[in-house]
Structure 1
Amino acid sequence: MWSVDAAGPPGTELDDEALTGCYARSTQPIVRVNFVTSVDGAVEVDGYSKGLSGPADKRVFGILRKVCDALLVGAGTMRHEGYRAVTLDEPRRAWRLARGLPATPTLVVVSASLAVDPGAPVFTAAPVRPVVLTTAAAGAPPGLDEVADVVRVGEREVDLVAGLAALRERGLDQILCEGGPHLFGALTAADLVDELCLTVSPLLAGAKAGRISAGPHREGGPVPLRLRHSLLADDLLLLRYTRVA
């Protein structure tokens, strides 16, 4: 993987230490969103995001998980993409422990209806007890309280502002959202997105697939972003954008 601009002189090859520096933890609480898309804007190929990914994207995926406090994901995406318990390899755990962080980040699942399986390994095998953000109206499936902390924010829709506040009360300041599109859209509509890490895959997927963002309309117009770096790996382009201060 090579730097194209701000991450170093053009053509600089990045090792894991340098790549971690490109995605360093913020000094402020942030919500960072990570997505992969085709050149023509598709969020998946044949129904799954892995059809757009590649080794460099997976490498950045691992770095982003290493540096976050909490991994935020919608329940539908968790089921569809077949999430397992969030774990890190030994070097990444050691990196976190050396900086006073828990060995693994906390999984946070967003589910308005609590349509989750408490017996799934994503809960039962989790090294850190997951959190589920849900609504007051949702009925909890039997056994969920035994494997996760259920936080109710909002009556019939998850109040993401209150949900993020609850996470930050737990010390979870660096939040990484991996989707899906409806959760990304809801975060954008609520003006909660601070960073977007976007991998552009060199594919034309056609018009059938959806976009990386879906759901409610955002009032107030588009959010201006600034490109912080661009990385190139073969024909895969990895971009990091932050909000304009």
Structure 2
Amino acid sequence: MTDTDLAALYDYESGVTANFVSSVDGSVSVEGRSEGLGSPADKLIYSLGRELADVVLVGAGTVIAEGYRGARRERPLPIAVVTARGSLTPDLPLFTDTAVPPIVITCASASLPALPAEVIVAGDSEVDLPLAVSELAARGLHKVNLEGGPGLFGAMVAAGLVDGLNLTLAPLLAVGEASRIATGPVVPPVDLSLASVLREDDVLLLRYRRRNSS
């Protein structure tokens, strides 16, 4: 399959698509980082998710744990960070190493320092995720690439905001106490349809869409 074919297969018109990698036994990380599950195929889908999106959506915990940097490419892609706790600081690489200012999505009760970013206040004591997605859309950012972490993914699922999932299945049994790809309150299961399956050596690239999602 060519790069053009792959982009056509994974493209979408709007909505939130989550991109995750997991071990066969459901671990989302090895030694605390998703990098331990990575492969050339996973990196390709990760990069493709960013190429196809208008904005990356990610939780502050993932930004800090994974050492996120800002977008640095010909078409700078804004990174929107969700935080309700004010844990972001202006010295993070996300703010110091970027071609475009990030977007920080927070709530009124959070105590944030001055950050070189556009700040969206969505909600009072917790981040109102439907409002946050609406605020991104109002800025012309309709194709949202959700990169983590598990808590934000779980909250987005609970809010009915996830339209698709691109899941790379790494051929590993990681065991340990690592999280699954989505955590949070118990909600009714979301029915998915399998849109495509690709294989690269022992790695499976699975693409799901929420059933009846446009």
Query: What is the TM-score normalised by the length of structure 1?
Result: 0.84
Task: Show the counterpart of 2:103.
Answer: 131
CA displacement at 1:154 relative to structure 2: 1.0
Task: Show the counterpart of 2:23.
Answer: 38
Could you list the runs of 4 or more consecutive aligned residues of structure 1 that deviate by over 6 angstroms after TM superposition? none
1:10-55: CA deviations, max 9, x gaps?
xxxx2211111121132xx310000000111111111111111100
- Residue aligned with 2:27, SS: coil
RMSD (CA atoms): 1.1
Instruction: Give, as a single letter, the amino acid of the residue that structure 2 aligns with 1:193.
Output: V
- Residue aligned with 1:133, SS: strand
Task: Pick one of 185, 195, 207 that aligns with 1:216.
Answer: 185
Task: Show the counterpart of 2:209.
Answer: 242
User: 2:70–2:100: 8 Å Cα contact kept in structure 1?
Assistant: no
Task: Show the counterpart of 1:18.
Answer: 5
Task: Show the counterpart of 1:76.
Answer: 61
User: 1:33–1:193: 8 Å Cα contact kept in structure 2?
Assistant: yes
1:121-158: CA deviations, max 9, x gaps?
311332222111101011221x31xx101111111111
How many residues are treated as equivalent by the alignment? Answer: 212
1:179-218: CA deviations, max 9, x gaps?
0000000001111100000000111111422211112222
- Unaligned runs of at least 5 residues, structure 1: 1-13, 94-102
Task: Show the counterpart of 1:61.
Answer: 46
Query: What is the TM-score normalised by the length of structure 2?
Result: 0.95
User: 2:70–2:102: 8 Å Cα contact kept in structure 1?
Assistant: no
Task: Show the counterpart of 2:126.
Answer: 157
CA displacement at 1:74 relative to structure 2: 0.2
Task: Show the counterpart of 1:119.
Answer: 91
- What percentage of aligned pairs have identical amino acids? 46
- The structure with the larger Rg is 1
User: 1:66–1:104: 8 Å Cα contact kept in structure 2?
Assistant: no
